[in-house]
Structure 1
C-alpha cells in the first residue's frame, strides 16, 4: 500500500488519534482511509445523475479568521447560475453560519460543495440533496 504524506494542524491530528481510539480503529491511517472512501462516494449516487436537484449546504466558520466572509461571497457569485439563495447569520460568540440553496445537477452541486470545502478556515460543511423532478432523467 502506498504511503501518502498529509500536512494538518496538530489539534486535528490529536482529534484523529482520539477518534481512532474511541471508535476501535487501528490508527489514524485507518480513520483517514475510511473518511476518504466516504468523501469519494458522497456524490456517487447514480440514481441522481442527469436529474434536476436542490441542495442545502450549511457552512460554519469563525468570522475572526480573516477573509472567509469575502470568500463565501466569492463562491456565491462564481456559482451564481446554481446558487438560488444564500443566507448568513451569526451563531454564538464568534461563529458564522452560511446557508446556500443550490439548484442544478449533481456535478454542479458537487463542484460548489468542493469549492466551499476547499476554502481555508471553514470548520464544517454539511449538505443534503433532494430531487426536484418526478424521477425522469433530463437530457443535456
Structure 2
C-alpha cells in the first residue's frame, strides 16, 4: 500500500532537491524524497539508540600493520564473529599502512559492537561504519542448497 503525501517547499529547498536529483540521477522528486526520508529515519533511529533489527553494514578502517600483534587481533575478532562477516577487502596503502573494508550482515545489536571493536583496536588509525536496515531482512538466501562442511 502506498500513500500520497503533499509537501510544500520554498524555492531554495526545491532547487536544492532538483540539484540533488540531477547529481544522483533520480527520475522524479518522489523517488528522491522517498530515499531522503528513508535515510533520515534510519539515522534518527540510530541516533536515538534504536537501531534497526537486521542490517547490512560496511566497516572500513586504516591501520599500521607494524603495530604489534594487530593483524592477529583483527583476524581473531573477525573469526569470533564469522556469522556476520560476509566479505573483506584488504589493500596495502604503503610500506606500513593497510586499509580493510568488511561487509557485514545480521542483527544491528551484534553488527555495531563488532564493527566498533575493529575500529577501536590499538593501531587502527581511522575507521568508519555505515550501517543501514537490510531490505527484506539480513538472512542469507536459501536456494535449496545444503552446505557441505569444509575439510
Fold match (TM-score > 0.5):
yes
Displacement of 1:60: 0.5
Which runs of 5 or more structure 1 residues have no equivalent in the other structure? 1-40, 136-140
In structure 2, the residue matched to 1:120 is 122
Which runs of 5 or more structure 2 residues have no equivalent in the other structure? 1-43, 138-151
Structure 1-normalised TM-score?
A: 0.58
Displacement of 1:44: 3.6
Change (3 A) 1:99 1:134: same
Q: Deviations over 1:95-115 (max 9, x none)?
A: 011111100122111111221
In structure 2, the residue matched to 1:63 is 65
Structure with more contact order per residue of length (Cα contacts < 8 Å, sep ≥ 6): 1
In structure 2, the residue matched to 1:132 is 134
Displacement of 1:42: 9.6
In structure 2, the residue matched to 1:49 is 52
Change (3 A) 1:45 1:56: farther
* Matched-pair contact (CA < 8 Å) for 1:76–1:86: no
CA distance in 2, matches of 1:67, 1:126: 22
- 1:79 pairs with one of 58, 77, 81: 81
Q: Deviations over 1:63-85 (max 9, x none)?
A: 11121111111111010010111
3-state SS in 2 of match to 1:104: strand
Structure 2-normalised TM-score?
A: 0.54
In the comparison of the two structures, how many residue pairs are matched? 94
